[in-house]
Structure 1
Amino acid sequence: MSAREDSGLSIEHAHALATDAALQALKTDEKGLSTAEAAERLAASGPNRLPTAAKEGLLKRFFKHFHDILIYILIAAAGITALLGHWIDTGVILGVVVINAIIGFIQEGKAEEALEGIRKMLSVHAQARRDGEWTQIEADGLVPGDIVRLRSGNRVPADLRLLETTNLRIEESALTGESVPSDKNTAAVDRAAGVGDRFGMAYSGTLVAAGQGFGVVTATGPNTEIGRINRMIAEVETLQTPLTREMARFSKILSGVIVALALLMLAIGIGLHELPLGDVFLAAIGFAVAAIPEGLPAILTITLALGVQRMAGRNAITRKLTAVETLGAVTVICSDKTGTLTKNEMTARHVITRAGHYDVSGTGYRPEGEITLDGELVKLAEHAHLHALIEVVAVANDTHIAEEDGQWKVTGEPTEGALRTLADKAGFDAGGHERFATIPFESANKFMATLNSTPQGLRRIMLKGAPDRLLDRCAEELGPDGTPQALDRPFWESAIDRLSADGLRVLAAAARQVDDGKEHLDVEDLDEGMIFLGLIGIIDPPRPEAVAAIKTCHGAGIRVKMITGDHAGTARAIGIEMGLGTAGSLRVVSGEELENASDEALQQIAQDCDIFARTSPEHKLRLVKALQARGEVVAMTGDGVNDAPALKRADVGVAMGIKGTEATKEAAEIVLADDNFSSIAHAVEEGRTIYDNLRKAILFILPTNGAQGLVMLTAVVFGLTLPLTAVQILWVNMVVAITLAMALAFEPAEPGIMQRPPRKPGAPILGYVFLWRLAIVSVLIGGATIAMFEVELALGMPLDLARTMAVNTLVVAQAFYLFNARFLTTSSLRLDLMFTNPAVWLAVGVLLLLQLGFVYLPFMNSAFAATPLELRHWLISLAIGFAVFLIMETEKCWLAKKT
């Protein structure tokens, strides 16, 4: 049983019922309910508001962020350092753990605010007929069967089956994705019709753009269309990000290796060398401290945070740290059309008169652009046909455009705004025209007419509207020579078909001169003598920067799919302009086809096709799921409430910040402050850079830990004196992590980063090639450290000096290896790349100062059992570091030739 049936009198498929049948089903009539009946129904159906979901307790939400294998390793590391009495390191490690939990706690709370964003769309008051009288009531008191009145500017307070309409037009783009308001009437439609085709319905949360009417409430609260979307958002499961999945897998493997080797050390030390249990246990603890990369979570967080800052500078506000990196992994971007790929600003593109086909440049309501004929710039005074047509659409027009805060906005109908902008581009001034009478636009007539006087003192009827309605009223047209001639209807119908096939909305204009004394205008005045002037093709144009961004995404191996609630013809035309396909090959899949497809068939359709039209929120959600089932990493962009469920389900949701609804913004991980699709392409580049930098940091940090672990493991296995103490290991870990590893977070994008394909979903952070590199570096640095330690002991040097030499060798070799790690595959022996990251040189300088303090400051010598070194010791360490650098550059060159 559906939610609507649960509420008693709420009815499904009201759009398919005649008005009388809808009233009968709801047991009401046009006089409305009595107060007593409404109270009974309110008790049965509940208030007309969306339910508030139960939330987890604050403590539970906070502590669940500790449930992660890497966090467990960090807590273990903190415990070990506490046992060793190194309280500063204990505090630092625990601080990292708590900070990560706080960040996760804050970000999680943001996601739940998507539901609150939808609630803000609901109307507060409503005009309802109770006890036979119109009265204003609280909207949450509406019940199924109430009769509600709508007027221009009202927000629809509940789902209504319309009973009477007068020029009623409702802005439904938040639910349907259509770029123009929907004309409403009272006719029933097919039961299977989508929301955008239910012209006899008004839906809760939408906005009345023009006209008036009234209807009967068919559903309230959670049973409305917007309530259904609200439930979808609440029920959608969010997936782990690729980085989270990879880090979890990486952490499990790493923790397993560390535990296994520590146990092996215990077994060898006790069983093979019969060492005291306490000594072996301390050695195993030292090994664990050496092997655990406790600086990694901090580096991860800082790298992501820096990426978030850089993206903010590119107008992309990131609400979740991992979202930017996830964008770097996407293989498919699913985008809404209206307001995302297009400007959601109607624009006149073409004007057709008997004098020729004029092209109009510029987009949106900004009155900047040119009108050309056969490539030549047009002057309005020299083109009587164009002047006559523009005069009509500018004068018979009640809409205004104005600049507000740097943006041009329309007050009134978007289509009339496009016509007003066209007149401004042409340089036409409508100020000298006085209006005497008007026939307003009505859905039944689909035209608007005015009676005006011109600056020349003539009185004219000016008529604009649907081409077929105007052709029916015209017997003549303005001929090529500027005089009236017989109407060539086939010519105009062919032109209309061409414009419509390109996805344009077509309007027509006509006019005639009348007697000077005429002051009234009736529909009958339009039945004779009207002269057809021409056609105007209007479209919600693609954003030019979005076209370039799609091309960039294609070059990066990312497919872009357009999912829209608009009509197939419009979607197809925009798709061709956007570069999503060619006229001969592009296939547009309808929502009806998606509705009838099985999950398996839908996966194939989602994979093969790039444009989907007349889609509902369920269709968008199913498409995202189908792509994810194929192993794709999906980004979803949108601005309407109908996009919110899919945005929440996607691997990363991207909302429009200017025209996006609050519900959409709260469901998304990234909000574009400029509503610009090209910002997504920048975010993909930033995400790839972040992922590269994370890999570089891991590839840099792990050999440090690997070398230290190898030193401790080798000493125990072969029964040697430990070359490093636990506190010395902690010193190396700390200084390397806070200086050298941190510098890698500032690395710029590598050359050609947007010309390579996305990484494969599920691919490990470090593949076999990089594991090989990790092993080589660990062996090189660890082996050199052990060798130097043993040589110094053999030369009769004190133990403290030999260990200080071992620490110095580790630190200096890591400094040289940092320059290898800056580029994963590109050679570091390039002068043009040597200074692209000043943070690297700053980090090396800070590390040198810290290490000099470690070696020469007396209190540091006491704390870490170190001792001053001679110049020859520094020269040996520098030589070893430079040798590591050259060997690893040779390895890079060898691998490049192999692949």
Structure 2
Amino acid sequence: MNQPRRTPPHAQRSDQVLEALQADSHGLTTQEAARRLAETGPNRLPAPPRDSLLKRFFKHFHDILIYILLIAAGITALLGHWIDTGVIVGVVVINAIIGFIQEGKAEEALAGIRKMLSASAQVRRQGEWTQIDADGLVPGDIVRLKSGDRVPADLRLLEATNLRIEESALTGESVPSDKSADPVAADAGIGDRFCMAYSGTLVAAGRGLGVITATGPNTEIGRINRLIAEVETLQTPLTRQMAQFSKQLSVVIVGLAALMVAVGIGLHAFPLGEVFLAAIGFAVAAIPEGLPAILTITLALGVQRMARCNAITRKLTAVETLGSVTVVCSDKTGTLTKNEMTARHVITRAGSYLVSGTGYAPQGQITLDGQLIELAEHAHLHALIEVVAVANDTHVAEDAGQWRVTGEPTEGALRTLAHKAGFSAERHTRHATIPFESVNKFMATLADTPAGLRRILLKGAPDRLLDRCAEELGADGTPQTLDRAYWEREIDRLSQEGLRVLAAAARPIDDGRQHLGIDDLDSGMIFIGLVGIIDPPRPEAIQAIASCHGAGIRVKMITGDHAGTARAIGIEMGIGTADTLKVVTGTELEAADDEALRHIVRDCDIFARTSPEHKLRIVTALQANGEVVAMTGDGVNDAPALKRADVGVAMGIKGTEATKEAAEIVLADDNFSSIERAVEEGRTIYDNLKKAILFILPTNGGQGFVMLAAVLFGLTLPLTPVQILWVNMVVAITLAMALAFEPAEPGIMRRPPRKPGTPILDRTFIIRLAIVSLLIGGATIAMFEVELALGMPIDLARTMAVNTLVVAQAFYLFNARFLNTSSLRLDLLFTNRAVWLAVGVLFLLQLAFVYLPLMNSAFGTTPLALRHWLVPLAIGGAIFLIMEMEKRWLVGTG
């Protein structure tokens, strides 16, 4: 039952479509419908196969850092320290649970789309109308639509009476689309296929009759469903970097451990058991087993902070990825704009009025030449508002603190305009109405004014009203000969600004008639003026775009709306200027191959009349150019691109379930400015992760150096493996974790995004890592050897060695708090109270380690005198000052 590919249904006459489908207006027989259902399958989207719960859980263990943690757990188990083994295994399990709960699945995105489908439909079978479950529909069925219905399948319309369908979830257009039964061009985009009704869209007004051309997976929404399922998701910059870093670290640790065994046995003839114990101690020292936990905790804290900013994160790594974003691709309708039509300009012969306020809330002012107006003093404005308010079937009311429209969004904007002007239509008595029809593109009413005057009030498309008017309301308030050229110039001016233009006309009736026909509009109508309506930009989004530009992030608008509207909104939002902003349409994208598209997306910031495939291709092309892409949207047409993007950001209020499930971040307030705050939070998180790495690696490096140097030079081991494990554990749960609470560094949103592929550790920080490792490790070995030479017992010397390592790391923590800024600044010393709390907790733990008998016997330590604390403190202070000098020398901080 598939249509010929050469001529799609929207390009064929309705009789040709019926013939191709072997159907007629009386509907299918029950037997034929059953046969077709067996052939095409149910009218529903197939549920994808799902991994088992166990498989989905255990895939979170498939990470080299987790493997390193498990190796560390195995080592502690071999040493017989089961509590430590339990702690490490607990970290691994918690990490897996968090990932299992928070990471969104593509299957859930598909389930969200399936919820959009209609549950039932009115279909003609055996020549009779009947209500059936929508999943029983087949191609060739005749279906009836009315206002409020959800379209049950893709239909080629046979009849359309005032039919308007809300298609923003598929097309991104702000207003419902007028439908007719006339065919359109074969290459028309979805938003221009006026003779089609698509599955999952909503009938806003009127009624229609159509024949089903596609069901289930063959519908337009089914095609998007397949796109989501087929889209490949990319690894985040963080996961790519951490995976590469972990592999390199693993190779280094294993290589050095093997070198220790070889040197210990071959050069120093150490017993095999002793050398093996030293190698285990080195591995325990060098493996940063706290790093995955710190990574998870830092991201989790970022998620909590984001939630306070109305950004709900569904995937931990998405927050950090936002910090490396170089391009934000945004849908227009409902994301950059409010998706609430607003009257912005009113033009009469008496002047051009400006209207402030946005949305349907009656909050705003009407001004003329910068002066507030009183409606009673402006007869022209009163006459126009009377027309658009009385010839209006839409209502605007406050509901739970939100102003909502019941009816047409455009008429809602006109109703709100009347409220702002203080005009009420309630005292007008309506006698007759000519409803809006897509053929006529106007609405007229016959009504009495409160003064008892009977008038015809007409509003609609400007060209249709100009055709019916010979006169206009002149500046002096009397009818004058219509100056059509003037009004056409004003219409063009408003249209170029991206506004939808409506016109108003009226004429008095003095014969007492009660009825109204089209013929009554053919003579005597007086043209009053124009209203310019727009889906206004969110004011906070304009500021957010400016902040993104200041942070070196490009913002690109991708919309299904018309090019002129998109360009006007783009200029108003500051995406570009009138001189430089270029708009590329979906037709141009269709003609471009992948290589040409990479050049287009590099140079253009506005894309109009786009389909879901176009959005997906744009995101893919940007990624091919090396960009890290965040994609925002609210319609199901955005879902494939959201899934493909490095970070998908969905709107929480007006977004579809499919979009939310495909995204990593959901904005609870539908506010684009939340994205800018999320980028700042992402940059802060990346900084904090980098600080944690730059803190943990040198401290682990110092501990590893102690063991490595002792074996290479044939020295007594300054630390036992269990003592090293203690140092690792207490430092990780106190000092390293404190870095997760660091606030944003000064000027974080005034620096450009980091380049994709930039390693976590650059040359400067590798040098710092080496210096700190040598300083901490070398000072510990030197102190241990000096104390042994002075006759100190080995248990006492090792206790001092542990203290030296811990105290030196505590001092180095203050160096690590700022990557490129000096830590010798009083204004920054107390900006993170968690650091001071962590140092206090570490001091208490270390006191227990040194003085509690239980700890002495478990870790082989012994109590120290007060003077034994002075040497570690002196070493720590010296390391702090040396590293501040290194910052000034290598980075040039002040």
Same fold (TM over 0.5): yes
Query: Residue 329 of structure 1: SS of its match in structure 2?
Result: coil
Supply the AA of the counterpart residue of 1:104. Answer: G
- Offset at 1:68? 1.6
Which residue, 216, 219, 227 being the options, matches 1:224? Answer: 219
Q: Is the 8 A contact 2:104 2:314 kept in 1?
A: no
Supply the AA of the counterpart residue of 1:703. Answer: P
Check if 1:635 corresponds to 2:630: yes
Match of 1:375 in 2: 370
Check if 1:754 corresponds to 2:738: no
Match of 2:249 in 1: 254
Match of 2:68 in 1: 73
Match of 2:185 in 1: 190
Aligned pair in 2 of structure 1 residues 306, 516: CA closer, same or farther (>3 Å)? Answer: farther
Check if 1:146 corresponds to 2:136: no
Match of 1:796 in 2: 791
Cα deviation per residue 1:46-65 (whole Å; 9 max; x = unaligned)? 11000011112222222222
Q: Is the 8 A contact 1:812 1:877 kept in 2?
A: yes
Q: Is the 8 A contact 1:11 1:219 kept in 2?
A: no
Q: Is the 8 A contact 2:37 2:137 kept in 1?
A: yes
Q: Map 1:525-674 to 2 at 5 A.
A: 525-674=520-669
TM-score w.r.t. structure 1 length? Answer: 0.98
Unaligned 5+ runs, structure 2:
none
Q: Is the 8 A contact 2:362 2:416 kept in 1?
A: yes
Match of 1:273 in 2: 268
Aligned pair in 2 of structure 1 residues 576, 521: CA closer, same or farther (>3 Å)? Answer: same
Which residue, 301, 304, 314 being the options, matches 1:309? Answer: 304
Distance 2:13 2:7 in 1: 13
Match of 2:438 in 1: 443
Q: Is the 8 A contact 2:264 2:714 kept in 1?
A: yes
Which residue, 827, 841, 851 being the options, matches 1:832? Answer: 827
Cα deviation per residue 1:179-220 (whole Å; 9 max; x = unaligned)? 000000011111111100000000000000000010100000
- Offset at 1:896? 3.0
Cα deviation per residue 1:644-678 (whole Å; 9 max; x = unaligned)? 00000000100000000000000000000000000
Match of 1:682 in 2: 677
Match of 2:397 in 1: 402
- Offset at 1:502? 0.8
Q: Is the 8 A contact 1:10 1:144 kept in 2?
A: no
Which residue, 313, 333, 341 being the options, matches 1:338? Answer: 333
Match of 1:419 in 2: 414
Check if 1:768 corresponds to 2:760: no
Cα deviation per residue 1:469-496 (whole Å; 9 max; x = unaligned)? 0001111111001111111100000000
Q: Map 1:693-704 to 2 at 5 A.
A: 693-704=688-699
- Offset at 1:834? 0.8
Distance 2:564 2:541 in 1: 20
Which residue, 832, 838, 850 being the options, matches 1:843? Answer: 838
Distance 1:43 1:843 in 2: 68
Q: Is the 8 A contact 1:262 1:288 kept in 2?
A: yes
Query: Residue 781 of structure 1: SS of its match in structure 2?
Result: helix
- Offset at 1:499? 0.4
Cα deviation per residue 1:95-142 (whole Å; 9 max; x = unaligned)? 111222222233445442000000000001101110011111110010
Supply the AA of the counterpart residue of 1:506. Answer: V
Q: Is the 8 A contact 2:104 2:661 kept in 1?
A: no
Cα deviation per residue 1:680-723 (whole Å; 9 max; x = unaligned)? 00000000000000000111111111000000000000000000
Q: Is the 8 A contact 1:10 1:219 kept in 2?
A: no
After alignment, is 889-898 or 610-619 more displaced? 889-898
Distance 2:720 2:604 in 1: 61
Check if 1:42 corresponds to 2:60: no
- Offset at 1:631? 0.8
Distance 1:763 1:109 in 2: 27
Match of 2:164 in 1: 169
Distance 2:216 2:410 in 1: 33
Distance 1:369 1:677 in 2: 23
Cα deviation per residue 1:500-556 (whole Å; 9 max; x = unaligned)? 111110000011111262211111111111111000000001100000000000000
Cα deviation per residue 1:557-615 (whole Å; 9 max; x = unaligned)? 11100000000000000000011111111110000110110100001101111000000
Match of 1:29 in 2: 24
Match of 1:288 in 2: 283
Query: Residue 110 of structure 2: SS of its match in structure 1?
Result: helix
Distance 1:207 1:838 in 2: 54
Check if 1:887 corresponds to 2:882: yes
Supply the AA of the counterpart residue of 1:91. Answer: G
Which residue, 188, 192, 208 being the options, matches 1:213? Answer: 208
Which residue, 797, 813, 819 being the options, matches 2:814? Answer: 819
Supply the AA of the counterpart residue of 2:764. Answer: V
Q: Is the 8 A contact 2:351 2:368 kept in 1?
A: yes
Q: Is the 8 A contact 2:718 2:801 kept in 1?
A: yes
Distance 2:181 2:229 in 1: 33
Aligned pair in 2 of structure 1 residues 448, 397: CA closer, same or farther (>3 Å)? Answer: same
Query: Residue 435 of structure 1: SS of its match in structure 2?
Result: strand
Match of 2:467 in 1: 472
Match of 2:112 in 1: 117
Distance 2:8 2:90 in 1: 57
Distance 1:379 1:169 in 2: 36
Check if 1:524 corresponds to 2:500: no
Q: Is the 8 A contact 2:887 2:893 kept in 1?
A: no
Aligned pair in 2 of structure 1 residues 321, 855: CA closer, same or farther (>3 Å)? Answer: same
After alignment, is 756-765 or 510-519 more displaced? 510-519
Check if 1:160 corresponds to 2:174: no
Distance 2:316 2:581 in 1: 37
Query: Residue 433 of structure 2: SS of its match in structure 1?
Result: strand
Q: Is the 8 A contact 1:475 1:529 kept in 2?
A: yes
Cα deviation per residue 1:150-179 (whole Å; 9 max; x = unaligned)? 000000000000000000000000000000
Distance 1:462 1:522 in 2: 13
Check if 1:89 corresponds to 2:92: no
Query: Residue 892 of structure 2: SS of its match in structure 1?
Result: helix
Distance 1:346 1:85 in 2: 70
Supply the AA of the counterpart residue of 1:511. Answer: A
Query: Residue 612 of structure 1: SS of its match in structure 2?
Result: strand
Match of 1:784 in 2: 779
After alignment, is 95-104 or 663-672 more displaced? 95-104
- Offset at 1:11? 9.7
Supply the AA of the counterpart residue of 1:136. Answer: Q
Distance 2:320 2:607 in 1: 27
Query: Residue 112 of structure 1: SS of its match in structure 2?
Result: helix
After alignment, is 54-63 or 800-809 more displaced? 54-63
Match of 2:734 in 1: 739
Query: Residue 116 of structure 2: SS of its match in structure 1?
Result: coil
Unaligned 5+ runs, structure 1:
none
- Offset at 1:381? 1.2
After alignment, is 453-462 or 222-231 more displaced? 453-462
TM-score w.r.t. structure 2 length? Answer: 0.99
Match of 2:497 in 1: 502
Distance 1:108 1:48 in 2: 30
Supply the AA of the counterpart residue of 1:477. Answer: E
Which residue, 713, 716, 720 being the options, matches 1:718? Answer: 713
Query: Residue 70 of structure 2: SS of its match in structure 1?
Result: helix
- Offset at 1:869? 1.2
Cα deviation per residue 1:375-414 (whole Å; 9 max; x = unaligned)? 1111111111111101110111111111222221110000
Match of 1:52 in 2: 47
